[in-house]
Amino acid sequence: MFRLLPLVLLVACASEGLPPTPPPVDGAAIFELGQMLFFERELSGNRNVACATCHVPFLSTTEPLALSIGQGGEGTGPTRARGEGSILPRHTSDLFHRGAARSLLWDGRVEMLDDGTIRAPVPLPPGITTALQAQALLPLLDRAEMRGHAGDVAVDGRANELAAIADERPEAVWDAIVARLLALEGYQFRFQIAFPDQEITIVHVAQALDFFERSLWDPQRSRFDREGPDSFSEAEREGHDLFFGDAGCFRCHDAPLFTDELFHNLAVPQIGPGKRDGLDEGRALVTGDPADRFRFRTPSLRNVHLTAPYMHDGAFATLGGAIRHHLDPATSLREYDPEQLPSSLRAMRRDDVNGELLETLDDPRPFRALNDAEVDALVAFLHTLADEPELIKEPDHAVPVEVPSGLPVDHWPGGPHPSR
Ligand code: HEC
Ligand code: HEC
């Protein structure tokens, strides 16, 4: 009934540069539980949004919207519509190769410190051991993303008891979510099999989601990993040599993860509702340091040609556009074409802060000027970072036929599961 990723995949993929994926313990049971939870709308206050609503497996684990849509929005993927006040401040990240990440989210507000402790915006329950586990607990608390607002009524007419809990009590929200899940028989036995003889808490929910995400989206290998530059076409080869040479991309996007996991200000146009006073100051929101204003975490470039639009706020619609911005950020910012944004966002551009954006610029310019053919070559090279196509474009095995709550399973383009 439930399609499982053959676990042999996890074991068979010998690591070539990427950190190894830990072997599963009772992998199948934890994977299946994580899969249910990832698609489970019961995790959201109003029972209307799952992780998969925004991280759509058939859309390369992200969504084609510049800025994501939270409570008040409807639908999944490109058919998702904006309701009043539902536009979130940031673009939805993809989830490829995040198991080894030491920091997560565009501002790195989830971060593993050198001593192995994890820093997050809220106190974490004991037992959280990875950045991915810690991250999974945050959308559950976020009112705009999943929890909903006080007084909300869930889609089935029941009161939203998660939204009624005070923001200062994250552990109470998590407990209430576990209570919801354990009220359903389908979860009682799945938790029991995955975590025998343990008292189930939100930590187990986080562990299962982490396991599902890293099992499915970490171990794949791209042509770059499997065959290397010897297999490349002329353009791919030229792009590769530029990337690791004159174009200087490797300074921030070095292999194997194609991110330095650090924060840089590229003076990307400010678009959307912002996080504070109508602006998104990125890393400075975490550190409080004005030098970190508008710095964002370097995104990984694995599978990047599948995850348009680009940057923390989806400002650039194409891969070429995102790369060209690096070549001369000041000019790109000044000449930015808002036509590449959905019409609803065009008026939400803050070009009045362009001067401030350039004050703390971390210059990403190549070591020498690049021509159009060289930008095309970089794009060609980035295509070699795509993982196995069947796992990226038609990840049928990622999507469960149904979830224990019986609520709809998000499946773009909103139709039924293809196996039905
Ligand atoms: C309403 C849409 C939405 C929902 C629901 C949602 N996410 Fe996200 N997710 C986002 C957005 C937007 C970001 C980027 C936010 C930021 O950086 O501040 C993100 C970021 C992430 C990241 C960080 C990736 C990175 O590279 O930093 C992970 C992991 C993730 N989400 C997993 C989940 C899981 C697991 C769930 C369910 C518990 C979930 N998300 C629910 C929209 C959503
Ligand atoms: C100084 C560090 C730095 C250098 C050098 C750099 N980048 Fe980036 N890159 C970033 C950061 C940071 C972002 C995200 C900026 C934001 O969202 O505000 C980014 C974003 C991107 C994106 C968008 C990815 C996505 O998922 O949104 C692409 C594509 C990209 N870079 C490619 C390149 C290429 C190709 C080069 C070489 C020509 C390069 N970068 C050089 C730091 C750098």
Q: What whole-number distance in Å separates Cα of residue 139 and Cα of residue 144?
A: 9
- Pick the range with the lowest mean pLDDT from 53-67, 236-250, 258-272: 53-67
What CA–CA distance (Å, rounded) separates 373 from 388? 27
**53 CA to middle of ligand 1, Å?**
10
Asked if 136 and 205 touch (Cβ cutoff 8 Å), the reply is yes
Confidence of residue 393 (pLDDT cuts 50, 70, 90): low
Residue 1 has pLDDT above 50, yes or no: no
**Pair 135, 326: CB distance under 8 Å:** no
Model confidence at 7, pLDDT cuts 50, 70, 90, reads: very low
Give the closest residue to 95 by CA, choosing from 251, 10, 214: 214
Model pLDDT, residue 220? 76
Q: How far apart are CA 104 and CA 90, in angstroms?
A: 13
Check pocket membership of 316 for ligand 2, CB cut-off 6 A.
no
As given in the structure block, the two tokens for residue 407 are 């609520």
| Residue that has been written with the tokens 């970089």 in this structure | 378
Q: Which of 61-70, 200-209, 384-393, 402-411 has the highest mean pLDDT?
A: 200-209
Q: For residue range 131-178, what is the model confidence (pLDDT) as tens digits?
A: 999 999 999 999 999 999 999 999 999 999 999 999 999 999 999 999
How much is the pLDDT for 130? 96
Q: What is the pLDDT of residue 372?
A: 97
Best residue among 63, 93, 323 to mutate for probing ligand 2, ranked by most atoms within 8 Å of CB = 323
| pLDDT, position 6 | 38
Q: Six-digit token pair at 267?
A: 């003076």
Question: 418 pLDDT exceeds 90?
Answer: no
Task: State the average pLDDT over residues 380-393.
Answer: 81
Q: Give the position, in ligand 1's atom list, of the atom nearest the Cα of 145.
A: 1
Q: Tell me the average pLDDT across 103-131.
A: 96
Pocket, ligand 1, Cβ cutoff 6 A: 49, 51, 53-55, 68, 70, 88, 90, 92-93, 95, 98, 104-106, 132, 135-136, 139-140, 145-146, 209
CA distances to 106, 333, 339 from 110, in Å: 10, 29, 33
At 17 the pLDDT is 64
Mean residue pLDDT of the chain comes to: 90
- Position 12 scores a pLDDT of 36
Q: What does the pLDDT look like over 394-404, one tens digit per residue?
A: 667 788 989 99
Query: Is residue 264 lining ligand 2, measured as CB closer than 6 Å?
Result: yes
**Of 12-21, 264-273, 380-389, which gets the smallest average pLDDT?**
12-21
Structure confidence at residue 76 (pLDDT)? 66
Predicted confidence at residue 18, as pLDDT, reads: 64
In angstroms, the CA 53 to CA 412 distance is: 9
Using the Cα atoms of residue 365, residue 366, residue 368 and residue 372 in order, give the sign of their dihedral. Answer: negative
DSSP state of 353: G
- Would you call 171 exposed, middle or buried from its count of C-beta atoms within 10 A (0-12, 13-18, 19+)? middle
Report which protein residue has its CA nearest ligand 2's atom 2.
252
For the chain, domains (ranges, CATH) are 23-220+394-398 (1.10.760.10), 228-383 (1.10.760.10)
Give yes or no for residue 416 having a pLDDT over 70.
no
Residue (of 330, 339, 356, 340) closest to 274 by Cα position: 356
Residue 392: its pLDDT value, please?
A: 62
Q: Which ligand is nearest to the CA of 111?
A: 1
Beta sheet of 103-104, edge-to-edge order: 103-104, 110-112, 118-119
